Structure 1
């Protein structure tokens, strides 16, 4: 039996990169997947087509997650789709009566900007996208999930190891980790688990060409000697959403090839 058989998951930012990898892996493991995107509709539809080719169900939903009302509408529509399709029938009794059983808060932005001279508007753009959307989507999802539901936030190792020109990003990801711990504390009595996955540097097309010195430094520092792949993050998310993690909540699962354990001197 696949690990997520009978589940229905909403993955935000699912049109490319890590989000695409999570959505595809969830489908491979038996889940029906609602794919959120803001503007990359064609890319999200391509992911949905791949999922349907596997024999799984998928739907593409558009929303601007910088808007709290849009976050709540997204979750509501995803839950209505889940119920209408009967996609969670196998897990309905344990996880929400045919509605959402899993949420992965993956959508985010990572601009670079020196802290001196950064405006409040530039700060808010990152915080609203990376953190406030997590708050609003999680709150809305918890209202439609039953016992057995899970929420996973995609954080970053920058939550504890900041990088230059990433003050807004690092702060938002540190807050995401603490939000998950707080939500785990308060939603545990509802049978809902909340965790984070903190990736390190994840490979993408053209990264080695665009940032050769960074890739070289990373692979030299990483005990496992390579960059991460979207599938590495996706596998961690599958685990946390699965029955294998039924007694895990409030945890930050670091997926970085061991870079975080390396000495800084």
Structure 2
């Protein structure tokens, strides 16, 4: 029988084949790391890369839009002695169809948090990767739907689109689904706290080394010049924040969202001209 108590703690990372997921896995190299993502070949490739770098990583493909897959992932973590850190980095962005964006970003988050909550024990920390887009105020109009989604992803997309018919559907789905991630964390942090665990979200701004960041830079003059820091972020910047909030130094932090955007939202709210600020929050660009 394996003595898990003598082994390094376990970090579970969803979306582990993506830029942020991989960066987080590297930052938790002193842990055992359970990597999951949708496509088996992507998970296997990520784990091979990590193992070559000396990370103690294992792979488990999973479709987090399926409650059964999320539960199986939690059971695998339990069989490995229980988890100490959960980094939920799985997510999709435009031009993915809106119903899939909701299925992965919102319903997938719900599935993962519901599956892992029974395994929370003292000292456990969960971090969900949201987005600066979740702070764009148009998305706040739909909080009740996002907190208690009773419809399937396609029907939810139709309901929200009907309330904002002039807003680009993909952009609307991304912003509202990430708003939903933030809300789900806030809602569930108390239950984690009852088990002496912590649950937070981290909201990246535009990152220069991700596929979504590359698309944003192609479509906009978005080189980081609107940020007080004058630069875009990177996946490793996000991983550093994730590592910090899972550490004892952040032991009083739970139920909150940490915006890691180089100050872009602050600039949008206080430096943009009124018309540009309103258009940004209305998802017009």
Match of 1:198 among 186, 200, 203: 203
Q: Secondary structure at the match of 1:191?
A: coil
Whether 2:103 is the aligned partner of 1:128: answer: yes
CA distance in 2, matches of 1:207, 1:135: 23
- CA 1:34/1:222 → structure 2, altered by over 3 Å: closer, same or farther? same
- CA 1:112/1:79 → structure 2, altered by over 3 Å: closer, same or farther? same
Q: Match for residue 173 of structure 1?
A: 178
- Contact kept, 8 Å, 1:102 with 1:241, in 2: the verdict is yes
Match of 1:236 among 221, 226, 241: 241
- Contact kept, 8 Å, 1:203 with 1:228, in 2: the verdict is yes
Q: Match for residue 148 of structure 1?
A: 123
Report matched runs for 1:1-265 at 5 Å. 6-27=8-29, 30-39=30-39, 41-80=40-79, 82-83=80-81, 99-112=82-95, 122-161=97-136, 164=168, 165-204=170-209, 212=217, 214=219, 216-262=221-267, 263-265=271-273
- Contact kept, 8 Å, 1:131 with 1:176, in 2: the verdict is yes
Q: Secondary structure at the match of 2:221?
A: helix
Unaligned runs of 5+ in 2: 1-6, 139-166, 274-285
- Contact kept, 8 Å, 1:208 with 1:215, in 2: the verdict is no
Q: Secondary structure at the match of 2:229?
A: coil
Q: How many residue pairs were aligned? A: 234
- Contact kept, 8 Å, 1:228 with 1:256, in 2: the verdict is yes
CA distance in 1, matches of 2:119, 2:102: 25
Q: Secondary structure at the match of 2:209?
A: coil
Q: Match for residue 94 of structure 1?
A: none
- CA 1:246/1:124 → structure 2, altered by over 3 Å: closer, same or farther? same
**Deviation (angstroms), 1:20:** 1.1
- Contact kept, 8 Å, 2:206 with 2:213, in 1: the verdict is no
CA distance in 2, matches of 1:59, 1:111: 29
TM-score by length of 2: 0.75
